[in-house]
């Protein structure tokens, strides 16, 4: 009995010390993204003025390309569109693997910028919204800061006060009750999104998902506080050493196990649509969003992701 109690005590101690330690399961860089992700040539679920193309088209038109540790996805910046034709060619990638408990670390040099742009790095279940959605990086029309958001079915809310450095935009994650706004948290720094993010050379985003919580962190490129395991894409990480996240979604009033299923990782750039189009003028962009996209290909010269790597841990 004493021995078994001692073992249990040691086991609890080990769990408390190493409970946030993860080992790398996947590493994506350069051409590796093409093997691990699929181009989704689908109608945009958010009704954007885009035409998502398949991999062959994306490669042929340089909408997806790689060089060394640069992996680029972008919108077309050469074509004037017909108002009656399809939207601007762009890219939506979905991971071939699915994940439940895991950590993602994104090393991003540049993100799409410009009026009408709506870029995102996110995760979603096959049965939306019942299997949930986690938006890690998302925003529209160059409006800072970044916002990380959960979208769920009913019965998932967040406490008004919790341990995070960001600012909550809403605490009910249910898409039906919030017109799909979900429960978002804005990062505390302007350089977490858009032109300010790009001017700083980008940075690192990290998301940890467990059955007890979901956390999101951001460190700008020259942030002295970026943990070494994040910065270096280490084979083993310890999230307990990463400090207070800017977004913290605990399970106390949301059963994460029942609201979040196996997720695919998505990288995409849409234009206009349900969010960027709805606030296009309010965000200081000129005229009509769809017309702007149709007539101004040169406005999308900087509408691209440059991802150095993505590391996944489990």
Residue pair 215/166 in contact by the 8 Å Cβ criterion:
no
Q: Which residues contact 17 (CB under 8 A, 6 or more apart)?
A: none
- Phi then psi dihedrals of residue 125, to 5 deg: -90, 165
Name beta bridge partners: 219: 204
Active site residue 133: yes
d(CA 284, CA 102): 38
Q: Which residues contact 158 (CB under 8 A, 6 or more apart)?
A: 150, 168, 171, 172, 173, 183, 249, 250, 253, 254
Token duo for residue 157: 């809310």
Residue with the two structure tokens 């998932």: 156
Residue pair 64/35 in contact by the 8 Å Cβ criterion:
no
Token duo for residue 27: 């590493």
d(CA 291, CA 88): 11
Catalytic, out of 76, 77, 138, 208: 138
Active site residue 123: no
207 burial class (0-12, 13-18, 19+ CB within 10 angstroms)?
buried
Catalytic, out of 133, 142, 174, 229: 133
Token duo for residue 145: 């800061």
Catalogue the active-site residues: 133, 138
């Amino acid at each position: 009995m004493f021995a078994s109690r001692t073992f249990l005590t040691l086991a609890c101690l080990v769990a408390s010390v190493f409970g946030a330690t993860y080992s790398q399961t996947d590493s994506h860089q350069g051409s590796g993204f093409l093997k691990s992700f699929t181009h989704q040539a689908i109608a945009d679920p958010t009704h954007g003025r885009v035409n998502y193309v398949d991999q062959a088209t994306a490669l042929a038109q340089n909408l997806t390309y790689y060089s060394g540790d640069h992996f680029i996805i972008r919108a077309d910046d050469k074509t004037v569109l017909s108002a009656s034709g399809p939207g601007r060619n762009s890219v939506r990638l979905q991971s071939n693997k699915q994940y439940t408990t895991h950590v993602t670390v994104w090393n991003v040099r540049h993100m799409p910028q410009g009026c009408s742009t709506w870029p995102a790095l996110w995760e979603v279940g096959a049965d939306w919204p019942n299997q949930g959605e986690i938006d890690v990086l998302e925003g529209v029309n160059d409006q800072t800061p970044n916002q990380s958001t959960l979208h769920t079915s009913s019965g998932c809310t967040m406490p008004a006060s919790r341990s995070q450095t960001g600012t909550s935009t809403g605490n009910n994650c249910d898409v039906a009750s919030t017109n799909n706004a979900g429960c978002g948290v804005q990062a505390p720094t302007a350089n977490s999104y858009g032109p300010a993010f790009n001017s700083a050379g980008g940075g690192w985003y990290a998301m940890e998902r467990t059955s007890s919580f979901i956390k999101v962190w951001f460190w700008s490129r020259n942030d002295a506080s970026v943990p070494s395991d994040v910065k270096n894409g280490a084979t083993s990480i310890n999230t307990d050493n990463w400090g207070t996240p800017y977004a913290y979604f605990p399970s106390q009033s949301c059963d994460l196990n029942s609201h979040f299923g196996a997720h695919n990782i998505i990288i995409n750039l849409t234009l206009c649509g349900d969010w960027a189009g709805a606030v296009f003028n309010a965000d200081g962009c000129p005229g009509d969003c769809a017309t702007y996209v149709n007539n101004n290909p040169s406005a999308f010269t900087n509408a691209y992701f440059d991802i150095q790597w993505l590391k996944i841990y489990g």
